[in-house]
Chain A
Amino acid sequence: MILYLLTFLLFGIGLYGVWTKRHLIRVIMGLIIMETAMNLFLVLIGYRHAGVAPILTGSHNETATMVDPIPQALVLTAIVIGLATTALLLAFSVRIYAKYKTLDLDKIRNLRG
């Protein structure tokens, strides 16, 4: 249970970063922290105490002790999607920096008028 609460805390830290930080890179870091928290949460859902890797070997009654493989598959997909969104965000940040010479969101807004 404490592990679940810690992942939610991590998620909250990410959300706090996205909402309050005014520096673009920190906002992106907040998003990455949220993604990591979600991935941890998914892995935790599939976790079994003293479980083994979910590979069928044919021995007796092994499925009972296996960890759940579905969340692991989901996490792999979620990591790939996260990579795409983060790469896109960082590419845009490079462009924004080239245009404004700053990554401070307040200054970017001011320039817009």
Chain B
Amino acid sequence: MSEIALYFVMPLATALLLVLFGHWIERWAGAIVSAVFLLLTAVTVHLWMGVDFPVSIAVGGWTPIDGVPLGIHWVMDGLALLMLGVINLIGVVVAVYSIGSMVKFTKLRKYYALLLLLGLGMNGVILAGDFFTLYVFLEISAISSYILVAFDRGAEAMEASLKYQVLGGTASMLILMGIALIYRLTGTLNMADAARVLLGMKAAPTVQFVGVLFLAGFGVKAAIMPFHAWLPDAHPAAPAPVSALLSGVVVKVLGIYPLCRIFFHVIGFQGVWPEVWIVLGGVSLMAGNILALAQWDIKRLLAYCSVSQIGYIFLALGLGTPLGLVAGLFHLVTHAVGKALLFFNAGVIVHVAGNRDMRALGGMATQLPFTRRTYLISAFSVAGLPPFAGFWSKLFIIVACVEAGRPFWGIWAAIGSMLTLAAFLKIQKHVFAGEVQGKRLYVHEAVFSRKVSMVFLAVLCVLLGFLAIPALYQQILSPASEVLIQGVSASLEILRQ
């Protein structure tokens, strides 16, 4: 299992290389970073094919006491594997897209180094088996994303990043308080061990309080509705590939994934929590869609749409049924791909027009025929039109709602889906259709590296739909959802390793 070390060594070593010797290799920095993420994707596929899960690794070689590893602890199971695949695959695409889209910036080596550190932090969050490792990697990825948001150093980007930093810093403190309380309560920082100790204790109100702290802290990172304030500022202000990475992957890895881990595997997903998740998700998906519909800034519209899609994932996971969990993870994957492609398209449009206000755009269908096609594929996928991937994941969510005896939320999700479609048709109408209006900085299509990554994601938007076939989702999604279904007993299994 020494391959797991690659998830940390490769990005960190390459980032160091880029910072130290970047002056000489700046021209190939993009290719190098793409290669690193591609290698990590290959490692993930390799592990998926050949390893029995869960795998638990105690770093540092300290002898475990009663099966509880001391110090840094990495856990690799089906869920972690799925998330690692998504992170590193989107990482490849983002790095390839960056080659063509970041040329106007100086200090590119720092950009690529930060991209790698963000990837490293996310890999660490996924693999962390103890609370403090989780916290440290969370901060690594958070700090790199703060800087990446402000990478073009304009006034708006600085301001958005500052807002992100203040809210993110507050959230980190809430998370740290939760970790401290867990330690006080259980005397351990290891997640699996804490789960075992909590299982033996009577349901204490402190545990519920810890749950609230984690929900608020990671809720800010996930941009779920009452905690979403930073996202519509930060995601539009970032350069296009960074927006794609932030909206597609970062909110899910830093927000949803730790919440799943903590609630399903440590605290126990019962009592009032499923209800809280469903209501938060439901509010988020409807309000996010309505706010998206009101936007005139193209990237801000997409950012609000992310808030609503996060709501869908929360709603599906909150159902807690096997189908609900599969549906939530399915939507997580399809949205990661679809939203990354949407932000790539928006990046091309903003590059050509020089502004993001849809009222000053129009008639781009003739100027950017290629981007129009990829836009339609991604928009239809995220809005949930057949036969694209997003349709199947939303169908799964609605069926799961009905199956769980909550048809109201199924109808609610379907209405939300129509609003998403309306928001995307607004972009279609004001940006692509109609007469050419507004000035253009250049009229040329996306350059080659952008086209490659956009076509790749567009193909994925179609191909991922095949995950709806039971034989396929049982291979790919079910190992991940089963880890969640097992709940706290999954933690006990880790301790038995």
Contact = CB atoms under 8 A, between A and B. Distances in A.
Given A38-B180, A96-B159, A108-B159, A81 B139 contact: yes
Interface in A39-62: 41-42, 45
Q: Please report whether the interface of chain A is mostly helix, strand, loop or mixed according to DSSP.
A: helix
Interface string A1-35: 00000000001001100100000100110010011
A70 B132 CA distance: 11
Interface stretch (B19-27, B41-49, B165-173): B165-173
B150 interface: yes
Contacts of B399: none
B176 interface: yes
Contacts of A85: 139, 143, 165, 169, 172
A65 interface: no
Contacts of A45: 180, 183-184
Contacts of A38: 173, 176-177, 180
Q: Looking at chain B, what size class is its interface with the partner chain?
A: 20 to 34
B89 interface: no
Contacts of A18: 166, 170
B53 to A, nearest CB: 29
Contacts, number: 75
A92 B158 contact: yes
B62 to A, nearest CB: 13
Contacts of B158: 92, 95-96, 99
A27 to B, nearest CB: 6
A53 B132 CA distance: 22
Interface string A84-104: 110011001101100110000
A92 B177 contact: no
B155 interface: yes
B146 interface: yes
Contacts of A15: 170
B173 A42 contact: no
Given A45-B183, A70-B183, A112 B143 contact: no
B358 interface: no
A6 to B, nearest CB: 15
B183 A88 contact: no
A99 B156 CA distance: 10
A89 B146 CA distance: 10
A100 B155 contact: yes
10 contacts: A18-B166, A31-B170, A77-B136, A78-B176, A84-B139, A88-B146, A89-B162, A92-B162, A100-B155, A108-B159
